[in-house]
Chains A and B, each alone.
Chain A
Amino acid sequence: MRPSVPVPPTEAVIRLRGVVALLGRFPALAGIDLEVAPRRIVLLRGANGAGKTTLLRTLAGLIAVAEGQATVLGVDLVADRRAVRHRVGLLGHATGLYDDLTVGDNVRFWARAAGAEADDAEQALVRLGLAGRLRSVAVSRLSAGQRRRTSLACLIARRPELWLLDEPHAGLDQDGRDLVDTILREATAAGATVLLSSHELDRSLQLADEVVTIAGGVVVADTGMSAP
């Protein structure tokens, strides 16, 4: 895998202090403190509704920071959250794919949108096992697992510096889940940082360098940089 943009080895990729984020009037994040070092794989744990997805979307610059201080990849999210977006890759519950386009069309489009080369899209298709017949199949005809692979291919082709993954193993078979883990390790080896939420705890605990537990919109346990 080609290296991502170099990150200073000692500077935190994510630095949150008392971050509050609102969904409507509800504070889905109620004062999050978090620091993540570069090239780490961080597992976000927590029950449904704990705030994991909101945290990932806030870090991606999709949800405004209502209170507190938030810096991601050196970008102040309070001042300009849009500035970080093209440097992160978010894999959420939705696929972000155009149903009527083929797998190849989707991966090439999102790669080009991110300024990546056609070669990056091709490599991503090969890496996710989509370079054969599936390349020419419309996304609407894919299984859930194949859609997930296509979304991952779009993400890889963009070569983000920060990967934000919400249940990345969901819908994948055993080989697919293993492949995701391999890709994430390769990404961090190439300089990227990964935050993922997953209910597959055994697998994710083996993958993660540190674990952050969230409940009620705040961090209640952290084995990494934020640990006291």
Chain B
Amino acid sequence: MLRDALLIAGKDLRLELRSRVALNQVLPFALLVLVLFAFALDPDRGLLARATPGLYWVAVLFSALLALQRSLSVESADGNRDALRLSGLDPAGIFLGKVLAVATQLAVLEVLLGVGVAVLYTTRITGWVLLAVTCVVATASIAAAGTLFGVVAAGLRVRETLLPLLLLPVLAPVLIGATRAFEAALAGSPSEGWPWVGLMGVFASLYIVAGVFGFGPLLEES
């Protein structure tokens, strides 16, 4: 399973390196969202500073939708899904590989968005450990749930619009937990953030276990 996961992750990351969809489309989109939030919530009124953690994670979520659509659309093209099913690869390995590839792209995106937040919103970054662990756990949750629900929607003509409808409600607890943890880190009281990280860890575990066992049957049906 691990070998299959690394094979799929390597293939998906190579696809991204060659096509640069995340770099040329997802990243500019995410930065644009940050800029628009800054215009909508005037930095001088203080509201932007208070809303920064939530805005950051909303931008991450919107960008993740694009990355997930891309990750799954390459498997829908030109018989690739059949080829995957015939390959003999472990479906759980395929799932974990796609999660790993999406999570890697999101991690890079989150770092760059963090720089964007620091520059555009003049946010002073504190609580590095809590911020980093929150990013790891939230990213795992988003990538796992997104890959699982993405394969549900993949076989349908309306997949582009269906995925956000399916995914965003499921990820609401992750959005809340990540936002609260970021608020605690940026406020200089990280101890208030760790329970939220624990909660997100539970959701991440649930999504990963559901994906490991559910991805294969869903791949068959899609």
Contact = CB atoms under 8 A, between A and B. Distances in A.
Contact of B78 (A61, A94, A109): A94
Contact of A100 (B4, B18, B87): B18
Which bucket holds chain B's interface residue count?
20 to 34
Contacts of B19: 100
Interface stretch (A17-25, A34-42, A82-90): A82-90
Contacts of A92: 79, 82
B11 A96 contact: no
A174 B18 CA distance: 33
B78 A99 contact: yes
Given A62-B82, A97-B80, 19 more contacts: A61-B86, A82-B85, A85-B86, A85-B88, A90-B86, A92-B82, A95-B78, A96-B78, A98-B77, A99-B77, A101-B11, A101-B15, A102-B18, A105-B11, A110-B83, A113-B4, A113-B7, A113-B87, A114-B87
A113 B93 CA distance: 11
A90 B148 CA distance: 27
Nearest to A95: B78
B168 interface: no
Contact of A101 (B4, B14, B78): B14
Contact of A97 (B7, B18, B78, B85): B78
Interface of B: 4, 7, 11, 14-15, 18-19, 74, 77-80, 82-89
A109 B82 contact: no
Tell me if B's interface is mostly helix, strand, loop or mixed: helix
Contact of B88 (A94, A114, A154): A114
B11 A94 contact: no
A99 B4 CA distance: 21
A138 B18 contact: yes
Contacts of B7: 109, 112-113
A93 to B, nearest CB: 8
Contacts of B80: 94, 96-98
14 contacts: A62-B85, A86-B87, A88-B86, A92-B82, A96-B80, A96-B82, A98-B11, A98-B74, A98-B77, A100-B74, A101-B15, A101-B18, A113-B87, A154-B83
A115 B7 CA distance: 11
A102 to B, nearest CB: 8
A60 B15 contact: no
B86 A62 contact: yes
